[in-house]
Amino acid sequence: MSIAEQLERIGWEKGHMRGREEGEAAVLARSLSRRFGPLPEWARERLRRGDAAQLETRADAALEVASLEEVLGAPPGSH
């Protein structure tokens, strides 16, 4: 496999992974908004920045928690 083909493959894999993460974030955002109401911007931003492992952990937590903050942490400036 040529270097160009290797680089193309790496780019495809990264794009595929990012697309998967964006899809998971969208599904989680929908689930959270159905459970807790419209999501504030800080919550949407945390979902956008999450990697696959974080999103999976948060999706599992969303099934068992009583508040949005238990899934995503405290809003900025609330410490």
Higher pLDDT: 9 or 75? It is 75
Does residue 71 register a pLDDT over 80? yes
Is residue 30 situated within a structural domain?
yes
Is residue 38 situated within a structural domain?
yes
Token output for 46: 């945390």
Is residue 64 situated within a structural domain?
yes
CA distance 20 to 52: 8
Residue numbers of the domain that contains 43? 3-68
pLDDT of the residue at 54: 92
Higher pLDDT: 29 or 17? It is 29
Is residue 51 situated within a structural domain?
yes
Single-letter amino acid, residue 14: K
pLDDT of the residue at 77: 86
Is residue 77 situated within a structural domain?
no
Is residue 74 situated within a structural domain?
no
Task: Look at the chain and report how many structural domains it folds into.
Answer: 1
Mean pLDDT of the chain: 89
